[in-house]
A and B are shown apart, each in its own frame.
Chain A
């Protein structure tokens, strides 16, 4: 009895461990490191006024709605930044529809979530998540504006012009150049196209790994490349702490060491390594990443001040501290649950693309609260347990948009009636989005 319990426990831990390794594997790493850097970049370098000036009451609808729907891509990094921004623009006179579009689409199109969804689950889901969130976000906004047009007319008449939407932000061109280069780094790191995956040059590393080491790595389901990457990450953690924690006070030697280590991690993850040997393949991905990193380094060192660099590093570090530990825990637990939850449950409830299955996906997303990004390993777990991709997308759209907590906060800002309508619309449209996506996939 005791033996079977302990063997069951070790199965669970093993399942958690392999999920963690899978997650730290090269392709996920190549997406997450740049994604965190980009997230920090947009927080520190791109002023919110770039978007908010288009969301005011005097902006025409054909500008304000699209601006609200892409706003999250340039500004928001997690659902936690969306709520205060939403409150701020709505109270200062943004139209209800525009504010709602911003609230709904923001968490769905944020760059961390998209990149990670693409790497861990598949580009089809990631792209569908963007496209359907934008389309339905604008639709939900327009419906809300229409339903509550009388309230809106009264509110607009009472509102004093705060001048908040007249504030313009001056952003120097170099900021956009680096933003594009960073996004390119992310794309080159994750996209599966032949020019990137082809190996151009092959060479053997002139070292031998003792077979005992190889054997024990194999037991842990690690490749030598994976082991080196994990080792680098373990070294990076304390160096980053020393270099970034006090970066706003002053930039020190550890700061530069940590930046170099992060770049090195990216480069080492890019080449292909033939299994069981030390044959290193210089892929298009490696060359692309190298060129992009050099370009970023050149622009940043010539056009950015120390203050700007420090703010950027601080924001990146803040997100890593906030999100990464939860993510690791989430991935591990998702792996454990995968071994606990019977596959037949998930298959029976959500194995087919039906309206009910999509609704179940959505409701699960609303009632379970996962911190930013943790919804992705959870979704991966459902996929492995046999969930259909339609309900999976429905879940991924609903989870960041709605949680009990965000519903309560929204209720305080908008009032009960509007919040209830909003929540119902999101549930209906997220269900519909998943269903349509499932149908499309089945048709292809």
Chain B
């Protein structure tokens, strides 16, 4: 079970990131727990300068931009491997 967190207060980019992550997860058929974190104080506890941020198993893999689905897939596969 992979633990994924999408950090973002609810902007256009944050919802896009969540959508892309869900698609990547379902396309490679992983079991993952995707949580969206919108609370600003909690977002700030991660070492990112700007949202959106993507955290896989406690590690920030990307922040400040929306990655492509292909990139998210790569990170997920790397985590599993």
Contact check, B64 vs A307: say whether CB atoms are below 8 A apart: no
Number of interface residues of B (CB under 8 A): 20
Chain B nearest CB: distance from A409 CB in Å? 11
Within 8 A of A (CB), among B1-52: 9, 12-13, 16, 20, 23, 40, 44, 47, 49-51
A248 and B44 contact, Cβ closer than 8 Å, known pairs A49-B49, A84-B50: no
Q: How many A-B residue pairs have CB under 8 A?
A: 59
Give every chain A residue within 8 A of B47 (Cβ-Cβ): 162-164, 167
**Nearest CB on B from A191, distance (A):** 31
Query: What residues on A are CB-neighbors of B77 within 8 Å?
Result: none
Query: By the criterion CB–CB under 8 Å, are B44 and A91 in contact?
Result: yes
* A residues in contact with B65, CB < 8 Å: 43-44, 47, 311, 315
B44 adjacent to A88 (CB under 8 Å):
yes
CB closest chain-A residue, reference B71: A307
Interface size class of A (residues with CB under 8 A): 20 to 34
Evaluate whether A167 and B70 lie within 8 angstroms (CB atoms) in the complex, with A48-B64, A249-B20, A249-B23 already known: no
B51 with A314: CB separation less than 8 A: no
A255 within 8 A of B: no
Which of chain B's residues 39-81 have a Cβ closer than 8 Å to chain A? 40, 44, 47, 49-51, 64-71
Residues of B within 8 A of A48 (CB): 49-50, 64
Determine which of B12, B49, B70 lies in contact with A88 in the assembled complex, contact meaning CB atoms within 8 Å.
B49
Q: Which residue of B lies closest to A308 (CB)?
A: B68
Q: Do B23 and A311 have beta carbons less than 8 Å apart?
A: no
> What residues of B have a CB within 8 angstroms of the CB of A310 in the complex?
68
List the B residue with the shortest CB-CB distance to A309. Answer: B68
Q: Are A85 and B49 neighbours in the complex by a CB distance under 8 Å?
A: yes
Give the residues in chain A near B50, CB-CB below 8 Å: 48, 81, 84-85, 88
The yes or no answer to A402 lying at the interface (CB within 8 A) is no
CB of A322 within 8 A of CB of B12, answer yes
Contacts A91-B44, A162-B47 given; indicate if A311 touches B12 (C-beta within 8 A).
Answer: no
A89 on the B face (CB < 8 A): yes
Smallest Cβ-Cβ distance to A248: which chain B residue: B68
The CA-CA distance from A248 to B17 in the complex, in Å, is 10
Question: B49 to A248, Cβ gap below 8 A?
Answer: no
**21 intermolecular pairs with C-beta atoms under 8 Å apart:** A44-B65, A48-B49, A49-B49, A52-B49, A84-B51, A87-B40, A92-B44, A162-B47, A164-B47, A167-B49, A248-B16, A248-B66, A249-B68, A307-B67, A307-B68, A307-B71, A310-B68, A311-B65, A314-B66, A315-B66, A318-B16
Given A89-B49, A163-B47, 7 more A-B residue pairs with CB atoms under 8 Å apart are A87-B40, A164-B47, A164-B49, A249-B20, A249-B68, A306-B70, A318-B16
Which of B's residues lie within 8 Å of A, judged by CB? 9, 12-13, 16, 20, 23, 40, 44, 47, 49-51, 64-71
